């Protein structure tokens, strides 16, 4: 009957391997952009009138505008979306109209 030898682990070599930083080969891989984002950035580059926000991370904002993020209840968002669809408008145009009244 043959005996099987138990494998051993060289702990120093394993620890050195685990702590070793990965070596890069070639160029870093860029994150794929969404199709709409690529089209918007392409149009902005050719137009030359739109500024990038934070290196393009948040999308493109026309000069004289500010990006706005707000949390609103689902039912209000749904009402606004239905109103926009019924009037063949955008949610942005409805918000701009309401904010102008302030």
Per-residue pLDDT of the chain (102 residues), as tens digits, is 677 777 787 788 777 877 777 776 666 666 666 666 666 666 666 555 555 544 445 567 888 888 888 999 999 999 999 999 999 999 999 999 999 999
Alpha-carbon separation of residue 15 from 6, 9, 18, 74 (angstroms): 20, 10, 5, 51
61 within some domain:
yes
Q: Which structural domain range is residue 80 located in?
A: 68-102
Same domain assignment for residues 75 and 52: no
pTM: 0.41
The answer to whether residues 56 and 40 belong to one domain is: yes
């Amino acid at each position: 009957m043959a005996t099987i030898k138990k494998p051993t682990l060289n702990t120093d070599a394993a620890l050195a391997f685990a702590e070793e930083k990965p070596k890069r080969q070639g160029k870093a891989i860029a994150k794929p952009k969404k199709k709409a984002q690529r089209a918007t950035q392409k149009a902005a580059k050719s137009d030359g009138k739109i500024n990038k926000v934070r290196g393009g991370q948040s999308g493109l904002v026309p000069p004289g505008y500010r990006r706005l993020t707000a949390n609103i209840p689902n039912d209000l968002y749904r009402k606004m979306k239905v109103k926009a669809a019924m009037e063949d408008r955008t949610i942005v145009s409805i918000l701009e109209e309401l904010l102008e009244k302030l």
